[in-house]
Amino acid sequence: MVDPKTLDVCQTVWLPEIRKYAGDNVPVILVGTKEDLLDSAKEQEKVSFEAARKAASQMGCLKFLACSALTHKGLKQVFDEAFLAGIGVNLKDTYRKPPCCRIL
């Protein structure tokens, strides 16, 4: 991640919003975008991959991934991991409505 403020906003704004509307059982992957800008960013302004990974773990995310839409670096992995996380959700328990009647 290029900007530490972005990580802070993820922790304080976006993750609580996701949990509020989607629930705690929905898998979340923290994705750092604009990875192509890391080389030009000042060292003290960057969030290291390890620090972002640790923050993702502390937030309860499945993992941290980084990508660049400009260079396509890591982009396929982000979509592959999102797909795998999505099909790994136990749909029966997470989205199942309570039965309207029971047969005894």
Residue 9 to residue 18: CA distance in whole angstroms = 13
Give the pLDDT confidence score for residue 90 in this predicted structure: 44
Q: What pTM does this model have?
A: 0.75
Give the pLDDT confidence score for residue 45 in this predicted structure: 74
In this structure, what token pair is assigned to residue 33? Answer: 């975008």
The segments of the chain whose pLDDT lies below 50 read: 90-95, 102
Cα–Cα distances (Å) from 80 to 4, 21, 26, 35, 66, in that order, read 26, 24, 17, 18, 13
List pLDDT tens digits, range 53-62: 999 999 999 9
- 3-state class of 47 per DSSP? coil
| Domain range 4-94, its CATH number among 3.30.365.10, 3.40.50.720, 1.20.140.10, 3.40.50.300 | 3.40.50.300
Nearest 5°: CA angle at 4, between 20 and 9?
20
Residue 58 to residue 3: CA distance in whole angstroms = 19
Torsion-angle region of 34 (φ positive above 0: left; ψ -120 to 50: alpha; else: beta): left
